[in-house]
């Protein structure tokens, strides 16, 4: 297959994710080399990218949302303050293409439009309030580089501050060397569960003990996932599924699994662990057993109690034996999506890859 391209050879792209708890930015540099050929066994894409800057700030946008149904003015201002830093970085890097998305907090808030207008007025940026399935699909795109193409199915979950997204997909391994150019997956089902580590903890911490919260969330998650599993006949496909956990909660538990005193992304991103070990870890975090948490994670103890209940419900219900931990997610998915929308259409591809070539 020969690639031809007309357009810029290097460009910067940015992704901003306004979540229930935090505002995150990722800036990536995209390199285009259309001279690459894919005749060899180890095929390569003519597009590569690397992260050149990132930013994260806790803004607690969903603070008090469940009680009032609206975004608090102080929370909106905290978000605008964080976006101001993001905006300066976007200008500094002269970003060619970007996307700003908002998730569960804005999906629920009656006055989400107020935040959208404030962002437009302050920075001339558009905010896309994405649905739960859209959020899950972006998480899938963000994890595409760590997919196990020997497994025909993938189950990706993302435990956020306001909700838990799960996506169930069939992979097309014949396109593993050209996943930017071809539809390498088919989404079979996706669900958005209204259980996030921040919202659940904020809603229940004043009315129940940690043990009660843990048991309540575990029961709710188990019921929902049992229905999801039965609907998609997941029990009969266990050996054919790769399970990937994305973003903050599961990466924190990955660090605990390794016994890290300080977080190290290089050791966590792509880590494969036996779910039995993760089940034991989740159960040992219940109740008063949280003394095992290192100082760096101690400030998240309440959130980890909720996260452990969600993880335990996922692992014990689905019974998939191995988990791949991804320190990546929506932001990386946005970058991949931007490349597919703004770079790939400029390519003229000569020669048609057959399925046999794709599987070499």
Partners of residue 324 on adjacent β-strands: 244, 272
Edge-first strand listing for the sheet containing 153-159: 185-193, 164-171, 153-159, 241-246, 322-326, 271-274
Tell me the C-alpha distance between 311 and 278, whole Å: 8
Residue 99 C-beta-side C-alpha neighbours within 13 Å: 18
H or E segment to which residue 276 belongs: helix 275-284
Tell me the C-alpha distance between 11 and 5, whole Å: 14
Are 154 and 162 in contact by the 8 Å Cβ rule? The answer is: no
pLDDT at 348: 63
> Quick one: three-class SS letters along 29-69?
EEEECCCCECCCCCCCCCEEEEEEEEEEEECCCCCCHHHHC
The DSSP symbol for 182 reads S
Residue 30 C-beta-side C-alpha neighbours within 13 Å: 29
Are 145 and 242 in contact by the 8 Å Cβ rule? The answer is: no
> Tokens 């259409």 identify what position?
345
Instruction: Summarize pLDDT for 234-282 with one digit per residue, the tens.
Output: 999 999 999 999 877 899 899 989 988 888 889 999 999 999 999 999 9
Spans of the chain, pLDDT less than 50: 37-43, 287-292, 294-298, 351-360
> How long is the chain?
360
| Structure-token pair, residue 335 | 């970058």
**pTM recorded for the entire structure:** 0.84
Tell me the C-alpha distance between 312 and 104, whole Å: 22
Domains present along the chain, CATH in parentheses: 2-131+342-358 (3.30.420.40), 144-326 (3.30.420.150)
pLDDT at 320: 96
Tell me the C-alpha distance between 263 and 255, whole Å: 6
Q: Provide the b/e sequence for 180-195 (b: ≥16 CB within 10 Å).
A: bbeebbeeeebbbbbb
Backbone angles phi, psi at 352, to 5 degrees: -110, 125
Tell me the C-alpha distance between 261 and 316, whole Å: 27
| Structure-token pair, residue 14 | 């940015």
Instruction: Summarize pLDDT for 344-354 with one digit per residue, the tens.
Output: 887 765 544 43
Nearest CA to 60 out of 20, 119, 103 is that of 20
Are 102 and 112 in contact by the 8 Å Cβ rule? The answer is: yes
pLDDT at 357: 38
Torsion of CA 60, 213, 265, 344, to 10 degrees: -70
Torsion of CA 227, 232, 234, 236, to 10 degrees: 120
Query: Between β-strands 241-246 and 271-274, what pairing exists: parallel, antiparallel or unpaired?
Result: unpaired
pLDDT at 6: 58
């Amino acid at each position: 297959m020969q690639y031809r391209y007309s357009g810029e050879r290097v460009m910067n792209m940015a992704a901003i994710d306004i979540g229930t708890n935090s505002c995150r930015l990722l800036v990536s540099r995209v390199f285009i080399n259309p001279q690459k050929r894919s005749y060899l066994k180890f095929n390569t894409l003519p597009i590569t990218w690397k992260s050149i800057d990132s930013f994260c700030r806790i803004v607690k946008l969903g603070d008090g949302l469940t009680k009032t149904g609206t975004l608090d003015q102080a929370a909106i201002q905290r978000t605008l303050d964080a976006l101001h830093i993001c905006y300066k970085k976007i200008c500094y890097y002269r970003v060619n293409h970007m996307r700003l998305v908002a998730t569960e907090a804005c999906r629920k808030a009656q006055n989400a439009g107020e935040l959208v207008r404030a962002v437009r007025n302050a920075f001339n940026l558009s905010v896309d309030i994405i649905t739960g399935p859209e959020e899950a699909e972006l998480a899938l795109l963000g994890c595409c580089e760590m997919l196990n193409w020997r497994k025909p199915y993938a189950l990706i979950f993302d435990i956020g501050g306001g909700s838990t997204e799960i996506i169930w997909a069939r992979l097309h391994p014949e396109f593993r060397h050209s996943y930017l150019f071809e539809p390498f997956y088919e989404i079979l089902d996706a669900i958005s569960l209204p259980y996030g580590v921040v919202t659940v903890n904020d809603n229940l911490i004043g009315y129940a003990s940690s043990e009660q919260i843990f048991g309540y969330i575990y029961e709710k998650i188990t019921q929902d996932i049992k229905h999801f599993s039965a609907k998609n006949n997941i029990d009969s496909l266990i050996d054919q599924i790769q399970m990937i956990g994305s973003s903050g909660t599961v990466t924190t538990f990955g660090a605990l699994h390794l016994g890290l005193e300080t977080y190290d992304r290089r050791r966590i991103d792509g880590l494969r662990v036996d779910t039995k070990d993760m089940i034991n870890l989740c159960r040992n975090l219940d109740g008063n057993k949280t003394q095992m948490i290192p100082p760096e994670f101690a400030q998240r103890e309440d959130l980890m109690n909720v996260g452990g209940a969600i993880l335990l419900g996922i692992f014990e219900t689905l019974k998939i034996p191995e988990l791949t931990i991804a320190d990546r997610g929506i932001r990386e998915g946005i970058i991949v999506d931007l490349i597919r929308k703004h770079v790939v259409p400029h390519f003229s591809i000569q020669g048609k890859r057959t399925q046999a070539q794709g599987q070499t």
